[in-house]
Chain A
Amino acid sequence: MQTLRFAIRQLRREWSAGELRAMSGAILIATAALVAVNAFSDRMQRALERNASELLGADIVVVGSGPPPGDWLARAQTEGIRTARTVQFPSVIITGEVTQLVGVKAVSNDYPLRGELRIADAPYAEDRATDQIPAPGTVWLDPRALGTLGLEVGDTVQLGEASFLISQVLSYEPDRGGGFITLAPRLMMHMDDLKTAALLGPGSRVRHRLLLAAGENELDAFVDWLRPQLERGQELQTVRGAQREISSALDDANRYLGLAALTAVILGGIAMAIAAHRFALRHRDAVAILRCLGASQWTATGVYTLEVLMLGLIAAVAGSGLGYLAQEVLARLLTDMVPADLPAPGWMPGLVGIAAGVVTLGGFVLPPLLRLRHTPPVRVLNRTLGAAPRSGMLSYLAAIAAVIALSGWIVRDAVLVAYVFGGVIATALILSLGSWLLIRLLRPLTKRVGVSWRFGLASIVRRAGGSTIQVAGLGLGLLMIFLLAVVRNDLLDGWRRTLPPDAPNFFVINIQPDQVDGVRDWLADRGLESTAIYPMSRGRITHINDAEPDTDDYPAGWARRRLEGETNLSWAETLPAANRIIEGEWWEADTNTTQISLARGFAEPLRLKLGDKLRLAIADQVFSGEVTSIREVDWDSFQVNFAILLSVTDIEQAPRTYVTSFHLDRSDSPNLAGLARAFPGIAIFDIDVFLDRVRDIIDRVSRAVEFVFLFTLLAGLLVMYATLQSTRDERSFETAVLKTLGASRARLRMGFLGEFATLGFLAGLLAALAATGIGWILATRVYDIPFSFSPELWVLGPLAGSIGVALAALLGGRAVLESTPLATLRRH
């Protein structure tokens, strides 16, 4: 009790000394970052679980490219199973001169079987649940589409061959799926209108869904009956599967946020370790005296340990609170991408965060404090005895291991944690090496500058060790921010730049065979040079050399999915542009055998070679042929490309649609509404709109990640602050001596500025360098796009670094500048 009271009193007294501030700041920030990310993903997770049964709008769904057989529906009815149907496909709506790509979903009467639709009378107005579906002749439209088209409820739009009244704004559908991001806005219509609008021809890209809901037993029996009848290309979806799919999209997002939070924790740990080291150093004399007076090792150091632990707990609790605020900011930044009605955050992430904060504190702060115990009492007689408590790297290994284990538990992704820690440690080492080298380079410079600057630079050089940690810590914080800037802008722009200016920017799909000539003429009449009109279909490889492939022989992931699912394919007489034969030979245009040409990137993972005989199922037709060539395809060319090409021998039997692409100058005020009107059922993709949507999504996500990286930067500044604190005594002494020698405050300020502007400059420079390096690796190794060098980073980085750090240091150094020299010198 005595000790506790003493510890509290001590805490108040030592707050101004700085180390305690640095330590608690570091815990605050580390905890806040962890809690923010963790609470946010917890909310997403719980939203997912709460809505689990709604994810499919049913208990079980059968998906296929054709309508479900009538006897399935009949059987379900007799078993007392409720059913509903949906049909989904892309299409365009036309209003006046404007077209808009939409994701159409035609639904039957009882849809949805689980969950409910929500509608509103105006975009983003208050919505309400409904058990209705759009009446025939009307459609419900996503608020986004209404916004871009400038339409209101009550207007009409053309879709296919019919006109529809927009009767409601559709604000929520339970089975939207596809993560939380959809590229084309939703249009919902009544199933009966599909025929009226004549939207679907054979071979159109359509997903038919049969929704089923009932008690568990009835369903199990039905599924047992249904499963053997499923054909390839028909898939049974369960709630669990849908959940897994969405979680994996969520995991990707959380991974980036987790990365930022972990970096903040590591930097926070470094700041804590530095502060704790100095804290221990400063208390050696007191401990020696206490021990001299007969205090036990524990009594002599217990007060300080208790003091720091208390403070750590307070800071962790505060940081946890801050984290809850921050996760709300995250949710706001990601509006539109997260479910609108996220459940309130739970208390678990907060508790875990506090525990994490305390463990980090224990790991990085306790080792130097515990070593304080070993201060020999004889130090009272000779201060050189029991000199600096060794900062033994070994004791920190335990701390690092603890933090890694903890992070792994929180982020639930061992690979990511290993990757981040490895990456951060490697980057930190490189940054340290870089700053050490740069600091060495400063040495000769000190002889060439004015007295104020000389003094600032000399300080950096003399405290090379501390300066290195400062520059590296700060650089790491800046790097995180720069990296996002580089990744976001350079990579996206780099990709855009790879497109030739006249690359096709419009794709037209779902052209029916009887529309081909018409579309070609329509485009030619308007001087639009279409690349070509390609037939297109989807097919599955059912047999390889007359044997059904065993999917278990293939690695999980892409290859297995290709065998289980369908792939886009086409027919051609001549080798398309942007394709190059690397093995075998292209077929004669008039060949009368069915030949197959595969893209290398498709053939290799599936271990397909020249001479292999493939059997392909395209809808209900079967095609067999031999692989006679392998192509290298330039996928970036933005031409229409296909992994599987067939000779045109028996194309007429194949259900198919056609696709084409063309370049349209935007200044030509495109009148594509005419095209859509003339050929109902086709869908027009505007690549720029698509890219803008992608960019918008990337922007929002990176803003959220940036927000979390803000904590990383703060932690980097704390490393700076902690190292600054650790040289504070020395610094105030030097200032006093300089004043004695007649230096004015303006002079001293200059020296101070010189020193910190230089540190900030070095940190900014290194961060720019590292960001460029990592950006280069990402561009060339990961994304395979030409690397674009951003010169502004090299100017802004060092500039931001030096100004920011100098200002921060000036604020922190004010007290030193204003005190009278004698008072300071007396303390030394």
Chain B
Amino acid sequence: MSQSQIVLSARNLSREIEGPGGTLSILSDVNFEVARGESVAIVGASGSGKTTLLGLLAGLDLPTAGQVFLEDEELTRLDEDGRARVRAQSVGFVFQQFHLMPALTALENVMLPVELAEEPQARARAQEILRRVGLAERMDHYPRQLSGGEQQRVAIARAFATDPSVLFADEPTGNLDSRTGEQIAELLFELNEQQGTTLVLVTHDHTLAQHCDRVLALEYGQLVSRSGSVETYAGT
């Protein structure tokens, strides 16, 4: 894999929390790289540090040590606004709890990242992608008027609207029933394929993980080797 194809890399990433009982290490010394177009699943028990890791990779939080590179930018050296700019240009994010803006309609929610990235034709693009996730009829509805599955579709449309190079998804099906979850997963992979996005997916769901090119396992804040059909990747 040539260097230019590496779109995301974590180096010696650690995150510690100052708690009442002293310092608590949530992530320690995590190293890995993700190539452009690759899809990676991060699995692990609840509390193993998956959300923390994803947050650090997307620049939603800062590590106590280590570096994150995203599209050749060293996220960990940028300030809050710098990271916001990178997110606006290159990152999409899908949450387990959807996290739509309740004050905005589905369409306005999807337009939001396009406008924040100051890209043209926000409305047309948002309409187009909402149509692709099957919500052509519900564009002017507010989140509270939509079901869980529909809300997650809007969230996915919103994540893909800016054509991000990396899409992060934190247990995107975790709050949905299994039938709806499957549909959402399908949609996610479909869009990922169509747009050639790099996908970093946190999940409990083994079938979902199997869909990915690679599976990383976290245990007590550390990447561990995993037996099975999937190759484990640690360090460079």
- A interface residue numbers (CB < 8 A to B): 450-451, 454-455, 458-459, 461-463, 730, 733-734, 737-747, 818, 820-823, 825-826, 828
Contact = CB atoms under 8 A, between A and B. Distances in A.
A821 B80 CA distance: 10
B81 interface: yes
A652 B80 CA distance: 97
Nearest to A740: B93
A-B complex: 5 closest residue pairs judged by Cβ atoms: A742-B88, A822-B55, A822-B61, A451-B115, A462-B103
A196 to B, nearest CB: 86
Contacts of A747: 116
Most buried by B among A451, A734, A818: A451
Interface stretch (B32-40, B94-102, B219-227): B94-102
A730 B102 CA distance: 9
B80 A820 contact: yes
A316 to B, nearest CB: 35
B70 to A, nearest CB: 12
B89 A459 contact: no
Given A738-B101, A738-B116, 19 more contacts: A458-B103, A730-B102, A734-B101, A734-B102, A737-B100, A737-B101, A739-B87, A740-B87, A741-B112, A742-B85, A742-B86, A742-B87, A744-B84, A745-B81, A820-B80, A822-B52, A823-B61, A825-B60, A825-B95
Contact of A742 (B55, B61, B108, B116): B116
Contacts of B111: 451
Contacts of A454: 108
Contacts of A455: 101, 103-104, 112
Contacts of A739: 60, 80, 84, 87
Nearest to A446: B108
B153 interface: no
A442 to B, nearest CB: 12
A481 B112 CA distance: 40
Interface string B118-160: 0000000000000000000000000000000000000000100
Contact of A820 (B62, B81, B95, B103): B62
B191 interface: no
A461 B116 CA distance: 21
B84 A461 contact: no
Contacts of B176: none
B112 A738 contact: yes
A338 to B, nearest CB: 53
Given A740-B60, A741-B113, A743-B88, A825 B99 contact: yes
B169 to A, nearest CB: 13
A747 B113 CA distance: 12
A458 B104 CA distance: 7
A530 B125 CA distance: 84
B201 interface: no
B60 A820 contact: yes
Interface string B72-89: 000000001100111111
B58 interface: yes
B91 interface: yes
Given A455-B103, A458-B108, A820-B62, A743 B116 contact: yes
B49 to A, nearest CB: 12
Contacts of B97: 828
A455 B102 CA distance: 11
A828 B84 CA distance: 21
B81 A746 contact: yes
B103 A741 contact: no
Given A746-B81, A828-B97, A741 B158 contact: yes
A738 B103 CA distance: 12
B187 interface: no
A196 B158 CA distance: 100
A454 B122 CA distance: 14
A462 B117 contact: no
A820 B112 contact: no
B92 to A, nearest CB: 9
16 contacts: A458-B103, A461-B103, A462-B103, A740-B93, A740-B99, A742-B88, A744-B81, A744-B84, A744-B85, A745-B80, A820-B61, A820-B62, A820-B80, A822-B52, A822-B55, A828-B99
Contacts of A744: 81, 84-85
Nearest to A461: B103
Interface in B152-175: 158, 162
Nearest to B164: A742
Contacts of B52: 822
A454 to B, nearest CB: 7
A820 B81 CA distance: 11
Contacts of A737: 99-101
Given A741-B87, A820-B60, A820-B80, A459 B113 contact: no
Nearest to B61: A822
A740 B85 CA distance: 10
A744 B78 CA distance: 13
A818 B93 CA distance: 20
A734 B95 CA distance: 14
A752 to B, nearest CB: 13
Residue with the highest number of chain B CB atoms closer than 10 Å, among A454, A737, A826:
A737
Contacts of A730: 102
B80 A740 contact: no
Contacts of B117: 742
Contacts of B61: 820-823
Nearest to B142: A462
A454 B123 CA distance: 14
Q: Which of B55, B62, B85, B100 has the most CB of A within 10 A?
A: B55
Nearest to B161: A741
Contacts of B91: 742
Contacts of B80: 739, 745, 818, 820
Given A737-B101, A742-B91, A451 B60 contact: no
Contacts of A462: 102-103
A445 to B, nearest CB: 14
Contacts of A733: 99
Contacts of B112: 451, 455, 738, 741
Contacts of A745: 80-81, 84
Nearest to A747: B116
A462 B108 CA distance: 14
Contacts of B84: 739, 742-745
A745 B88 CA distance: 13
Contacts of A746: 81
B60 A821 contact: yes
Nearest to A741: B113
A747 B85 CA distance: 11
A815 to B, nearest CB: 13
A175 B79 CA distance: 75
A440 B115 CA distance: 25
Given A825-B95, A828-B97, A741 B81 contact: no
A459 B87 contact: no
Contacts of B62: 820
Nearest to B87: A742
Nearest to B117: A742
A618 to B, nearest CB: 79
Contacts of A823: 61
A828 B175 CA distance: 14
Contacts of A463: 103
A820 B91 CA distance: 16
A734 B108 CA distance: 14
Contacts of B89: 742
Nearest to A447: B108
Nearest to B91: A742
Contacts of A825: 60, 95, 99
Q: Which of A459, A737, A740, A743 has the most CB of B within 10 A?
A: A740
Interface string B51-65: 110010010111000
Nearest to A457: B103
Contacts of B108: 454, 458
B43 to A, nearest CB: 20
A459 B102 CA distance: 9
